[in-house]
């Protein structure tokens, strides 16, 4: 099969790094990077680090409003897809790039393969929720990571083409986890294992003025001189903070967005992780790190349930976060616990990449 794959963000590059090498053993893949994450630290460096082949097309479509971004993607992708005449178009997850790719393929009567189909937060205020719902309803192949995703699709009347494959991100995490046990990226930043908290905040709802003030206060309450919060600051979040003149509290240390291995290492060796990211949630779960999810809902219900209370939804409530940190990562135990995690880490791949490649071959258009 000839497959056009559309990516555009850091999480999608991570997924492509797991799936593309497997796809290319059996299929012809044309990789298109929309440039939705146009910052080099957010996307460009990932191609080299993850040994992902350079994209065949780089569109450079970053910035602007969500609507404007999707509109420009539609026009650019249409030309590429018409010229390529693929048998299928593959998209990942729930971004603007996902939505644009699925819409273009549907308009051109090209079958859509959606990796990470069926996930639902049931919060239509989230742009990601709209994107994933539309992509699912346009897809011929719905590659789902969990049983709950199957149920979500069935509730919307989608039963054909639904294939449970597991989480493709776990395949890559399993491959690279052994390389971060020593914690070199952590010590390179002057940090000591178990003596810091690692945080990421990037979702659109957490860039609104009230939310900015709430989560910065939460991080400030969690941080201390003995255990700072290390915040890998997304460029869009940095811009929102600057626009609202919201200052980060003392003992919240900002670092640039990190590469994939460094991000895994910073999670593995942290006392705990605080995040609104779906990808970081899952990575923290696989690594066994306590995790506070800075959202009221999550589409990864099995991930949270599978941690036996080690991952909790706290929203932007500083008191809840403080109580959960005291329970999950007491100050005196964190260093020893981080060392134990690093020594015993043994993550198995999900086998999702092989399952997706084989399913596409078995059901050629």
Assign 283 to helix, strand or coil: helix
For domain 2-167+350-362, which architecture applies?
Answer: 3-Layer(aba) Sandwich (3.40)
- The full set of domain ranges for the chain reads 2-167+350-362, 177-344
Inform me whether the pLDDT recorded for 2 exceeds 80: yes
Sequence-distant (≥ 6) Cβ neighbours of residue 285 within 8 angstroms: 291, 303, 304, 306, 307, 310, 311
Per-residue confidence at 125, pLDDT binned at 50, 70, 90?
confident
Q: What is the pLDDT of residue 41?
A: 55
pLDDT in tens, 267-278: 999 999 999 999
- Positive or negative, the CA dihedral 45, 50, 55, 61 is negative
Residues 276-308: tens digit of each pLDDT: 999 999 999 999 999 999 999 999 999 999 999
User: Is 177-344 a CATH 3.40.50.2000 domain?
Assistant: yes
Residue from 103, 260, 247, 236 nearest 171 by CA: 260
Catalytic residue among 37, 114, 202, 269: 202
What are the residues whose beta carbons fall under 8 Å from the beta carbon of 170, sequence distance 6 or more?
282, 286, 347, 349, 350, 352
CB 341 within 8 A of CB 310: no
Low-confidence winner among 72-86, 295-309, 314-328 (lowest mean pLDDT): 295-309
Average pLDDT, the chain: 94
- Among residues 252, 275, 249, 247, the alpha carbon closest in space to that of 263 is found at 275
Q: How far is CA 74 from CA 34, 66, 71, 97, 149, in A?
A: 10, 12, 5, 9, 27
Supply the DSSP string of 72-89, one letter for each residue. HHHHHHHHHHHHH--SEE
Section 34-62 average pLDDT: 79
Higher pLDDT, 25 or 51: 25
Interior angle at CA 322, CA 242 and CA 240, nearest 5: 10
Task: Put the strands of the sheet holding 272-275 in their side by side order.
Answer: 252-255, 229-232, 197-200, 272-275, 291-293, 311-313
Q: Is 181 left (phi over 0), alpha (psi -120 to 50) or beta?
A: alpha
pLDDT digits (tens, 9 = 90+) for 186-245: 999 999 999 999 999 999 899 999 999 999 999 999 999 999 999 999 988 999 999 999
Q: Is 234 a catalytic residue?
A: no
Written as six digits, the tokens of 164 are: 């449970």
146-161 as b/e: b if 16+ CB within 10 A:
bebbbebbeeeebeeb
For residues 354 and 76, give the distance between their C-alpha atoms in angstroms, rounded to a whole number. 30
Residue recorded with tokens 């991930």: 303
Q: 188 and 256 in contact (C-beta within 8 Å)?
A: no
Rounded Cα–Cα distance for residues 123 and 142 (Å): 21
Q: Do the domains at 2-167+350-362 and 177-344 have one common CATH topology?
A: yes
Predicted confidence at residue 51, as pLDDT, reads 83
**pLDDT confidence of residue 168:** 96
């Amino acid at each position: 099969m000839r497959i056009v794959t559309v990516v555009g963000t850091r999480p999608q590059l991570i997924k492509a790094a797991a799936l593309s090498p497997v796809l290319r053993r059996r299929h012809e893949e044309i990789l298109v990077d929309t440039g939705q994450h146009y910052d080099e630290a957010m996307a460009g460096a990932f191609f080299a680090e993850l040994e992902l082949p350079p994209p065949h097309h780089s569109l450079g479509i970053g910035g602007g409003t969500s609507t404007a971004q999707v509109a420009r993607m539609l026009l650019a992708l249409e030309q590429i897809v018409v010229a390529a005449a693929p048998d299928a178009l593959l998209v990942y997850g729930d971004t603007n790039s996902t939505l644009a790719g699925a819409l273009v393929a549907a308009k051109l009567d090209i079958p859509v393969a959606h990796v990470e189909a069926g996930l639902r937060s049931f919060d239509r205020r989230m742009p990601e929720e709209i994107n994933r719902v539309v992509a699912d309803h346009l897809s011929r192949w719905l590659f789902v990571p969990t049983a709950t995703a199957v149920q979500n699709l069935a509730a919307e009347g989608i039963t054909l083409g639904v294939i449970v494959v597991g989480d493709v991100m776990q395949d890559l995490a399993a491959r690279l986890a052994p390389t971060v046990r020593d914690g070199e990226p952590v010590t390179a930043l002057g940090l000591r294992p178990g003596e810091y908290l690692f945080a990421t905040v990037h979702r659109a709802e957490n860039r609104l003025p009230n939310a900015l003030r709430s989560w910065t206060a939460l991080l400030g309450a969690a941080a201390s001189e003995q255990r700072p919060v290390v915040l890998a600051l997304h460029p869009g979040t940095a811009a929102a903070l600057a626009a609202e003149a919201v200052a980060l509290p003392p003992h919240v240390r900002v670092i640039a967005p990190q590469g994939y291995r460094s991000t895994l290492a910073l999670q593995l060796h942290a006392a705990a992780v605080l995040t609104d990211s779906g990808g970081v949630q899952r990575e923290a779960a696989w690594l066994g790190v306590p995790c506070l999810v800075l959202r009221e809902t999550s589409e990864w219900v099995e991930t949270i349930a599978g941690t036996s209370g080690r991952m909790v939804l706290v929203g932007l409530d500083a008191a809840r976060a403080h109580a959960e940190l005291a329970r999950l990562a007491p100050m005196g135990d964190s260093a020893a616990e981080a060392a134990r995690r690093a020594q015993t880490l043994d993550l198995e791949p999900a086998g999702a990449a092989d399952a997706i490649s084989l399913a596409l071959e078995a059901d050629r258009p």
